[in-house]
Structure 1
Amino acid sequence: MHLQGGVANGAQRPNAGVDVCKQHLDVCLGTEDQRVANDAGGWDELIAKFKGAGVDLVVLEATGSYERGLVCALQGAQIAVARVNPRQARDFAKSMGVLAKTDKVDARALRDFADVLARHKDRAKYITPMVDERRQALADLMTRRRQLVDMRVAEGNHLEHAAHKHSVRSIKNVLKTLDKQLEVIDREIDDHLDRHFGDQRTLL
């Protein structure tokens, strides 16, 4: 069975590649390219996208710090992720005849790398494990953030269809509460990253 451009033929599931920078993430899923912020909101957006597409494996490069939040968020969402070193990724791209180097091109090469690793007989050894409580705690925070975002979307939909002023007022109050909770959880995520991964965040 053959995979083309991250889109599987038959029953196989698609894979994705993510090129990581400090401020943003360039993503290739199938034939679609996308850029999102490298923060909790961007991670949530990708998780929703990957889950909706039934992604099998996500491959990204190990930068030493900037990918850590995304890796933990993906793991917390039960999405398999393989963190490869830059030399492996570049050697693979060259073997595929990819000589240009831009964020978008890198993401596409990583997607193709994901296609190969997903079918590899030793696939399991490439999957990045969740190794300690700090990462588990971050994954839990990200899960809670997704829950709050989902609730806010639901209340926003209710507001669009609310006709009675009391219903509108009630929904707006709930939205304000959810916005405050999102601000709190975002601060907790940032604090957790600074407290437990601060040294890595300042390396690059």
Structure 2
Amino acid sequence: MTKQASGTEHILSQIGQFKGPAPVHEWDPPYCGEMDMRIAADGRWYHEGSPIGRPQLVRLFSSILRKDPDGYHYLVTPAEKVRIQVDDCPFVAQLMDVEEVGGESQITFTLNTGETVTADANHAIEVTVDDDNQPHPTVHVRDGLWALISRSVFYSLVEVADQVSRDDGKKANNNNQIKTELVVSSSGSEFVLGTV
């Protein structure tokens, strides 16, 4: 067994049976170095260059994932924390469900780990632009961890969006400029996907 593999086994041996994410923000273990583990931009997990093929193992590791103020991602147990590489977002939203609850629309995403996230004031949808000037849509999962919204899900999100015209506050030729935004609502919060 390699030293790296034994490190993985050691981390696994420390993880209890948590229903959902572990309370990693309550733990302050010592830093124990880097592990050769990477989460690719498509959400796939790799260990020592090989994909982790067991979904249960990915779910287990994702339950102890934390992003610290230094901007790095760590796997955290009560006894240790190790740094891993994350190429983009640690999660990917692969499915979307929209339903009416109490007269309000709710948008719920299912992540590649099986976890679900409903967009609301604490789980914002944000759309930025990447280096290729393409939309980079994300949804906040928990404690600074974000999920990339897959292209197909983003297209579905755009399909349910409303076009809202707003005064952008800028004047041209003494006239205010009107911009039309694509807006979705979920759990009483509005999120702008982009402009038309």
The TM-score with structure 1 as length reference comes to 0.23
Indicate the structure with greater strand content. 2
The TM-score with structure 2 as length reference comes to 0.24
Indicate the structure with greater helix content. 1
